[in-house]
């Protein structure tokens, strides 16, 4: 499930240089720009690891007992579909400010034009905003794999089955090193036999680029599409409670997906 950022106009180096002479207000403005970019890169990295691999005996046994299709453990089953057009609305909240980006994806268009930025803050996007958005959308998935020994059945009731897992630390890139301290929780509805959501939570404070995050919480929700015979993402919410230049700061992004159309 890939997420992007239409707001990050400032590069990390320029942000660092400007912060040295910034006022408190300017510093928080710089945090908003850099924080938003960091947040959405984190979202891309975490979402790309919301998958599992081989040898899940206890989990597969629970799936079999509850008549759950094990294909939900296939990484491809949860990725954003590349053969569907859809709309995306992304709301980013940082430094007490909110910014909304609306975009569309159409796989039938040339690759460099598949993403169209409709608006940023209700206005026509600038060329730099469009380029930044498309660049982030086209980032490749992280190559992290799941640690087979980390699987757990966290909870099973008459209504839900919750399993969890972590990434294999040996497969995590330097940029995504913080994922080694995060655990993902997959919630399955035992009534419908379908996946409802995957949540990733850090188990201890993590360092994400220049941010020190006490809490990272990503929730990706899914809906089963009978016609397409696959899961489609409905919302993705990522929140980080972090420190920026010694100050507490929360950043959050809410991404909503709609109007899926098979191409």
- DSSP string covering 75-87: GGGTSPPTTEEEE
Q: Is the pLDDT assigned to residue 245 strictly greater than 70?
A: yes
**Mean predicted confidence (pLDDT) in 235-254:** 86
User: At residue 27, does pLDDT exceed 60?
Assistant: no
Mean pLDDT of 39-46: 56
Q: Residue 16: pLDDT above 70?
A: no
Say what the pTM is. Answer: 0.77
pLDDT band, residue 237 (cuts 50/70/90): very high
Query: Burial, 58: exposed, middle or buried (Cβ in 10 Å; 0-12, 13-18, 19+)?
Result: exposed
Higher-confidence residue of 222 and 9: namely 222
Does residue 40 have a pLDDT over 80?
no
Phi/psi of residue 173, nearest 5 degrees: -70, 160
């Amino acid at each position: 499930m890939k997420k992007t950022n239409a707001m990050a106009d400032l590069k990390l180096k320029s942000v660092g240089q400007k912060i040295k002479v910034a006022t408190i207000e300017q510093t928080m403005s710089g945090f908003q720009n850099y924080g938003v970019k960091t947040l959405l890169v984190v979202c891309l990295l975490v979402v790309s690891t919301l998958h599992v691999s081989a040898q899940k005996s206890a989990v597969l046994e629970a799936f079999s007992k509850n008549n759950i299709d094990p294909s939900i453990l296939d990484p491809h089953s949860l990725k954003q579909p590349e053969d569907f057009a859809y709309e995306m609305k992304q709301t980013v909240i940082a430094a007490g400010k909110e910014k909304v980006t609306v975009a569309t994806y159409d796989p039938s268009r040339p690759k460099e034009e598949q993403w169209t930025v409709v608006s940023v803050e209700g206005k026509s996007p600038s060329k730099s905003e469009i380029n930044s958005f498309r660049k982030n959308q086209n980032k490749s998935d992280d190559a992290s794999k799941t640690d087979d020994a980390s699987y757990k059945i966290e909870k099973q009731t008459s209504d839900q089955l919750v399993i969890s897992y972590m990434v294999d630390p040996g497969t995590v890139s330097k940029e995504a090193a913080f994922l080694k301290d995060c655990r993902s929780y997959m919630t399955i509805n035992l009534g419908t036999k379908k996946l409802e959501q995957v949540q990733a939570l850090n188990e201890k404070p993590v360092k994400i680029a220049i941010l020190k995050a006490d809490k990272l919480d990503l929730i990706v929700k899914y809906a089963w599409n009978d016609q397409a015979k696959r899961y489609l993402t409905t919302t993705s919410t990522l929140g980080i409670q972090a420190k920026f230049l010694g100050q507490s700061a929360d950043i959050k992004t809410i991404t909503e997906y709609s109007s899926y159309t098979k191409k």
